[in-house]
Amino acid sequence: MWQVPKLSLRTLLASLIGFVTLAGFTVNLAILLANARPRILKEEEASLSLTRQIAVMATAGFQDAAEPDRMLALFFQSLGALRHVVVVVVGPDGVARPIPPQARNHDVLAAPDWFAALVRPAPKTLQIPVNVRGANFGKILVAASPFDEIEEIWVDVVRLAAVSMAVSIVLLVAALFILNWSLRPLEGLRHGLAALEAGESGVRAAFGGPAEFSVIAASLNSLAGTLECVTTSNRDLVAQLIDVQESERQDLARELHDEAGPCLFAIRAGVMELNGISARPQPEAGAVRDACAKVGRASESLQSLFRDVLGRLSPRGVVEFGLQQALGALVDFWRVHHPDVEVVLMCPHDLATLDEKLALTAYRIVQEALTNAFRHAGAERIEIRIALGWIETAGRLTETDAAPALLVTVEDNGVGLRSPSGRGRGVFGMKERTAHLGGRFAIEAGADGGLRVAAALPLADREGDGVVERSEAGNGAGTNPSDSIGNRLNS
């Protein structure tokens, strides 16, 4: 398949100027040639008519002349001064005598033969009889000569071509100058983009040239600034992730040391006690049972510890039983360990259709928020709410700018937010989990002076279809868009 060759902008502009100039010259030349033949015909008719009038008036004036022969000879000689005609005098004896024209530019070769043949009309002739006092003095033969007019038209064509070429050259030079000045900032933009592609920082494009390039330079500078911020943010994120991983490892190691160490020591002590009892000549059954009971209790404690650790690392209940039951088990755990704190879980919608990643993210957010609340809030009541609602996608919440989302809220009536920056590892983890799903996260003061942790996690298309209707969003479930989490979440 034939493809149009890629030409430079300078070549395209020069071609355009040349084409326009050539088209204008062609149009003017066509108009000039179309009017050439009528112009020549008109000039010939005027010349023949003028010659006739002069001849008629002269012969009429010679009727009373004493020497008409001499006067006619002078008159015939003067006919050579007429333009655009060739005069031949035929005497009474039938002898033709051409009248030589006066000296003037009659160089027929000034115009090419093809041009003369193109515009020259059919030749015209005229016969004028000469009678004085009733006597026949012969006749005057007049033939039209268009060569002078053809030369003038040819000169016009040459001048038109010269002017067109001069205008074309001037326009081309001016256009290339303006184009070079206009495209000069492109080189800087190209270097800037190449620097960005190479990962360099501090790249900025200079403003110059037309206003459009200044806008592009401003956009490039804004892009470079955004990339620098993203690079810095990613660098900080990697550092924070490493800190979080190290902290989690240290916490896990500390917990295993503090909790698993005593259990393992109790198991070892029980085994040594059983070895001692078995070495006796007559082992006592009661002592064996007591030692086995101690080992069993230590094993149960160790098993419970590992179950809790594995549950924190990977809660199997979310996958096996669903988010609602997994959260119920988590709430029951905290209720057992902190019976003085009222923990309320509200799930007004069916959450069975949520996928594993979304459900696990919601579980982790609730888990971390509960851990922080019990560690730092000193609250008497903690309310957890998991509902289906809407999240704004274009700066305002309307029918067309809202997307279905899972709204997660954990609110307590404790001491409130102590650190405005909210840069704890747990908070950082919740923010990153929410951002990973393209959601929104916020920490703000609660209604009762405590703290509210809110997250909006977008639902996939297959999850949002038929899960919750707009009419449900405004019922007692409390997912009205006007007061939903989407109105107060920050990205």
Q: Determine the Cα–Cα distance for residues 217 and 438; give it in Å rounded to an integer.
A: 30
pLDDT band at 50 (very low <50, low <70, confident <90, very high): confident
Answer yes or no: is pLDDT of 160 > 60: yes
Q: Which tokens belong to 116?
A: 């003369």
- Give the model's pLDDT for residue 420: 52
Q: Which of 452, 451, 456, 444 is nearest to 481 (CA)?
A: 456
> Between these two residues, 318 and 45, which has the higher pLDDT value?
45
Answer yes or no: is pLDDT of 273 > 50: yes
- Give the model's pLDDT for residue 408: 92
Query: Picking from 220-229, 346-355, 423-432, which range would have the lowest pLDDT averaged per residue?
Result: 423-432
pTM metric for this prediction: 0.46
Q: Determine the Cα–Cα distance for residues 356 and 423; give it in Å rounded to an integer.
A: 27
Q: Which tokens belong to 221?
A: 């500078």
> Between these two residues, 23 and 400, which has the higher pLDDT value?
23
Query: Picking from 172-181, 382-391, 456-465, 479-488, which range would have the lowest pLDDT averaged per residue?
Result: 479-488
Q: Is 407 exposed, middle or buried (0-12, 13-18, 19+ CB in 10 A)?
A: buried
Query: Torsion over CA of 41, 47, 51 and 54, rounded to 10 degrees?
Result: 130
Q: What is the tens place of the pLDDT at every residue in 135-159?
A: 788 888 888 888 888 888 888 888 8
DSSP string for residues in 296-360: HHHHHHHHHHHHHHHHHHS-HHHHHH-HHHHHHHHHHHHHHH-TTSEEEEE--S--TT--HHHHH
- Give the model's pLDDT for residue 482: 33
Average pLDDT of span 37-50: 85
Q: Which of 110, 122, 124, 123 is nearest to 153 (CA)?
A: 110
Average pLDDT of span 340-369: 86
Count CB-CB contacts under 10 A for residue 227: 14
- Give the model's pLDDT for residue 102: 66
Q: What is the tens place of the pLDDT at every residue in 304-323?
A: 777 777 666 666 667 677 88
- Give the model's pLDDT for residue 74: 82
Answer yes or no: is pLDDT of 374 > 50: yes
Q: Determine the Cα–Cα distance for residues 250 and 208; give it in Å rounded to an integer.
A: 56
- Give the model's pLDDT for residue 227: 82
> Which amino acid makes up residue 64?
D
Answer yes or no: is pLDDT of 489 > 80: no
Q: What are phi and psi of 149, to 5 degrees?
A: -70, -35
Answer yes or no: is pLDDT of 395 > 50: no
Q: What is the tens place of the pLDDT at every residue in 99-147?
A: 787 655 544 446 788 888 888 888 888 888 888 777 788 888 888 888 8
Q: What is the tens place of the pLDDT at every residue in 396-427?
A: 434 445 678 889 999 888 887 766 555 566 78
DSSP string for residues in 149-180: HHHHHHHHHHHHHHHHHHHHHHHHHHHHHHHH
Query: Picking from 86-90, 341-345, 353-357, 463-467, which range would have the lowest pLDDT averaged per residue?
Result: 463-467
> Between these two residues, 202 and 340, which has the higher pLDDT value?
340
Q: Where are the domains of the chain?
A: 9-171, 201-312, 314-487
- Give the model's pLDDT for residue 312: 64
Average pLDDT of span 381-393: 83
Q: Which of 399, 267, 406, 301 is nearest to 348 (CA)?
A: 406
pLDDT band at 328 (very low <50, low <70, confident <90, very high): confident
CA 263 to chain centre: 64
DSSP string for residues in 195-256: HHHTT-SS--PPP-SSHHHHHHHHHHHHHHHHHHHHHHHHHHHHHHHHHHHHHHHHHHHHHI
Q: Which of 71, 241, 45, 65 is nearest to 149 (CA)?
A: 45
Count CB-CB contacts under 10 A for residue 468: 21
Answer yes or no: is pLDDT of 285 > 60: yes
Helix/strand number for the chain, H first, E second: 13, 9
Q: What is the CATH number of domain 9-171?
A: 3.30.450
- Give the model's pLDDT for residue 479: 39
In words, the CATH class of domain 314-487 is alpha beta
Length of the chain as a residue count: 491
Q: Determine the Cα–Cα distance for residues 16 and 28; give it in Å rounded to an integer.
A: 18
The mean of the pLDDT values for the chain is 77
H or E stretch at 295:
helix 285-313
Q: Is 193 exposed, middle or buried (0-12, 13-18, 19+ CB in 10 A)?
A: middle
pLDDT band at 462 (very low <50, low <70, confident <90, very high): very low
Is there a shared CATH topology between the 9-171 domain and the 314-487 domain? no
Q: Determine the Cα–Cα distance for residues 279 and 203; give it in Å rounded to an integer.
A: 81
> Between these two residues, 3 and 152, which has the higher pLDDT value?
152
- Give the model's pLDDT for residue 487: 42
- Give the model's pLDDT for residue 69: 77
Q: What are phi and psi of 132, to 5 degrees?
A: -130, 120
Helix, strand, or coil (residue 86): strand
- Give the model's pLDDT for residue 470: 41
